[in-house]
Structure 1
Amino acid sequence: MTAADPAPASPAPQHGHAPKQDRSRVTRERILESTIEALAERGWQATTTTVVAERIGISRGALQHHFRTREDLFLTALDAMFERNLQLTMRDEERLPDGDERFDVLVARIMDYYTSDAFTAALHVWTAAAGEPALRDRILPLEAKFARGVFEQAVELLDADISDERTRRLIQLTLDLARGLGLADVLTDDSARRARIAKFWAGELRSIKRR
């Protein structure tokens, strides 16, 4: 190429046109979020694929392009939202204080985890699964995964020595307590009582054995 030759033209920027795979990913995320919101607000029976599609302004066919069945949609949404909540409420170690206050914050986070929209949505699915064996078979591993994830994060953030039976039981009791309080919050706002219980239970947890 000589000095007189024109430089090759650069491709024109594609303003406002995201790659197809990016648009597909965004749509999928919106579908999952809308599913959790609808389940939490309306329950299992009233949350159909048509309802979810209408909430975000796409066709039912477009939704089924991402999720073949209603059950696939619900279970994928629950898995994704619980994982996101776990990241937001449990794994942000940088914002956890040191000392005794760490127990207060961690117990409050666990309580929040079990009062989220994802937990309320899961309750509706769990209830439906009780009468549908095929759905129950798919739910049980997912529920176990959720519980294991919160337990493992609590152990890590508290530096707990779970070879000690009492320590292991106290952490498991924390999750059971939070789950029960989450159930109590479904019909009425139980936040004031939950905060008092969380404060008391954090004091009990301070007696665990540390590594």
Structure 2
Amino acid sequence: MTSTTAPRVPQEERTRAMRARLMEATVELLVEKGFSGTSTTLVSQRAGVSRGAQLHHFPTKNDLVVAAVEHIADTRGAELTAALADAPTGPGRTRAVLELLAEHFTAPIFAAALELWVAARTEPQLHEAVELLEEKVGRQTHFLTATALGVDGNERGPRELVQATLDLLRGLGLANTVTDDARRRARVLDAWAATVDAQLGR
């Protein structure tokens, strides 16, 4: 009789899966409990990872939360890239692009990032890490938005229009953390889409 055993999962793949669980658990806790209520112990429990394994990869809470937000932001960035690439063409494209961006800024990752921004105000070490992360994410989002709107994001005029669009969307995302702002947000996006098209001569 021949015995069969399950194929062994390579160590690298197990490590990658464990880190992904830690990242997801951290973001969930940041959204649910805020930065102060998130601890490495709670993260390891929710992720189903031993404390020793978690501390081996992320020695401090700051290391963990910054890595988690960066990981999820990268994932969301990839999703946003794909979504914007599929946005409809024609007269309604600007409004569709704004809707996709609004979904990006009202996703749980935005609330998690907001917790980091607030905590970073009074924690110098965290502030330095968050500042570098925001520069990276900001450049990526600016480029994606300019590309989706069909403008050169480095050209004076379009550059400021793209930045104003992102500032508006961040504000709408912030408002959404307090209450469901979907109806008002839709009206604002309608008006802003018309403004953007007018500015771009469409």
Could you say which residue in structure 2 is the equivalent of 1:205?
196
Q: Does the 8 A contact of 1:40 with 1:121 survive in 2?
A: yes
Write out aligned runs for 1:53-202 (5 A).
Answer: 53-162=44-153, 164-202=155-193
Distance change >3 Å, CA 21–CA 163, structure 1 → 2: closer
- Structure 1, 167-176 or 201-210: larger mean CA deviation: 201-210
In 1: Cα distance, 2:163 partner to 2:9 partner = 45
Query: How far apart are 1:206 and its partner, in Å?
Result: 1.5
Amino acid aligned to 1:181: L
Deviations 1:152-195 (A, max 9, x none): 01111222034553322111111000111111111211122112
Amino acid aligned to 1:148: R
Amino acid aligned to 1:177: L
Q: Identity, % of aligned pairs? A: 35
- Structure 1, 32-41 or 198-207: larger mean CA deviation: 198-207
Among 8, 33, 39, the alignment partner of 2:30 is 39
TM-score (norm 2): 0.90
Question: Match of 1:165, SS?
Answer: coil
5+ long unaligned stretches in structure 2: none
- The ranges of structure 1 where at least 4 consecutive aligned residues each deviate by more than 6 angstroms after the TM superposition are none
Query: How far apart are 1:38 and its partner, in Å?
Result: 0.7
| Bigger-Rg structure (1/2) | 1
Distance change >3 Å, CA 193–CA 18, structure 1 → 2: same
Aligned residues: 199
- Structure 1, 153-162 or 39-48: larger mean CA deviation: 153-162
5+ long unaligned stretches in structure 1: 1-11
Bigger proportion of residues as helix: 2
